[in-house]
Amino acid sequence: MSRILILVALVLSCTGPANSQKKTIREQTGLRGPVRSVRLELAKVLDSPEGMIEGPGVVLSVYSYDKNGNVIAQTVNNSDGSLRFKYGWRHTYDAQGREIRTDYYNADGVLTSSGITIYDDMAHTADVSQHNPNGSINHIRELFFDDQGNDNVRITGASGARRPDTLKVVAGYQDGWMGTGMIGFSWPDAYLKCETSANIITGLVEERGWKPDEINIEYVGYNALLGANADPAQRDNLNECFLRMTVRTKDKRIADGFGRLFPWLGLSGPPYAGGFKGVQGAKELLGLWPTLVRREAIEPRVTVDVEAVA
């Protein structure tokens, strides 16, 4: 049976730690020391008579950092190794090691925007501006810091966009019923027995005239997690395999009856030596509907109660 091994390669450099006391992006991701590159690969490790054999790796992502710990390149690939997206950054620092400019690049290496940071006399961020590639200002933010003593600092000048007129709502609604059945078989031909059982169950559904909206078939131990990426070369050598089938339907009676199609397989189905989980009743499905609602329809009905708890 094939297993998946995630390989993470860290390429270390000999540069020293960053000068800034602020946590860098590298530190925020949990990395310690002068790590300059992180490469994440996915590879299959297969059992064979000669022992464990590692298959070819697929690069899922590559992150690169400068000596100050800020990310300068990010590449993320799909599971087949094809490019999903790619970004680049270039950071400029002053003599104190503070970042004063950040340039942003797209997958083609084209500059898309630049951020410029100005600090006040107390080393606080006082001005942050975003510039278009032609040098024009996209937006600007000024911050003012007033030391009021006793470790209190008053910050003014921060601003944001006007609050939206709507609120985002994720609503749930009744979206039918799910029927579930599960049965397992042992070697030999564990997968073949499961596949034969799936065909029998599908035929019984058709004989009864049931018309579910969807039928899902999974083989636990083979493709329940990997789906179409499961290695078919190992399919016929499984020590054990469980068939799990589900249906989605608007009719609760069909969902309830679906699980009752499985128990008899232990006596009249393929040669049986395995496990049966029992008959599971129908489960109600919840659909999600993200939408926007006018603010005044929600806020007047929202109350906040604060109680002291001993």
Q: Is residue 88 pLDDT above 60, yes or no?
A: yes
Domain ranges in the chain are 3-156, 174-288
- Distance of alpha carbon 34 from alpha carbon 90, whole angstroms: 18
Q: Is residue 5 pLDDT above 60, yes or no?
A: no
- As a whole number, mean pLDDT of residues 3-24 equals 45
Residue 194: in which H helix or E strand, if any? helix 190-207
36, 11 Cβ separation under 8 angstroms: yes
Phi/psi for 256 (5° steps) reads: -70, -40
- Token pair recorded at residue 64: 């690169």
Amino acid 256: pLDDT = 95
Amino acid 72: pLDDT = 92
Q: Is residue 166 pLDDT above 90, yes or no?
A: yes
Query: Distances in Å between the alpha carbon of 30 and those of 12, 23, 73?
Result: 15, 10, 18
Q: What is the pLDDT of residues 213-247, one digit of tens each?
A: 999 999 999 988 888 888 888 888 899 999 999 99
Name the percent of the chain lying above pLDDT 70.
90
- Distance of alpha carbon 240 from alpha carbon 189, whole angstroms: 9
- Distance of alpha carbon 265 from alpha carbon 260, whole angstroms: 10
Amino acid 160: pLDDT = 66
pTM (2 decimals)? 0.48
Q: Is residue 11 pLDDT above 60, yes or no?
A: no
When pLDDT is cut at 50, 70 and 90, the band that residue 101 belongs to is very high
When pLDDT is cut at 50, 70 and 90, the band that residue 53 belongs to is confident
- Distance of alpha carbon 222 from alpha carbon 234, whole angstroms: 8
Q: State the fold for domain 174-288.
A: Alpha-Beta Plaits (3.30.70)
Amino acid 19: pLDDT = 43
Query: Which among 27, 13, 9 has a CA at the least distance from the CA of 67?
Result: 13
When pLDDT is cut at 50, 70 and 90, the band that residue 3 belongs to is very low
When pLDDT is cut at 50, 70 and 90, the band that residue 2 belongs to is very low
- What one-letter code names the amino acid at 287? G
Which of the residue ranges 8-17, 28-37, 124-133, 284-293 would you say has the lowest mean pLDDT?
A: 8-17
Q: Is 242 exposed, middle or buried (0-12, 13-18, 19+ CB in 10 A)?
A: buried
Coil/strand/helix, residue 120: coil
Q: CA dihedral defined by 196, 200, 203, 209, rounded to 10 degrees?
A: -150
Within a 10 A sphere around the Cβ of 183, how many other Cβ atoms? 25
Q: What is the pLDDT of residues 255-287, one digit of tens each?
A: 999 999 999 888 888 887 777 777 889 999 999
30, 66 Cβ separation under 8 angstroms: no
Amino acid 196: pLDDT = 95
Give all strands (DSSP E) within the chain, no chain letters. 3-12, 35-48, 51-54, 58-65, 71-77, 83-93, 99-105, 111-119, 125-131, 137-142, 144-149, 152-156, 166-186, 214-220, 240-249, 274-276, 283-294
- As a whole number, mean pLDDT of residues 98-124 equals 88
Q: Is residue 9 pLDDT above 50, yes or no?
A: no
125, 143 Cβ separation under 8 angstroms: yes
- As a whole number, mean pLDDT of residues 73-80 equals 89
Give all strands (DSSP E) within 132-165, no chain letters. 137-142, 144-149, 152-156
Q: What is the pLDDT of residues 167-205, one digit of tens each?
A: 999 999 999 999 999 999 999 999 999 999 999 999 999
Q: Name the average pLDDT for the chain.
A: 84
- As a whole number, mean pLDDT of residues 39-55 equals 77
Phi/psi for 227 (5° steps) reads: 60, -130
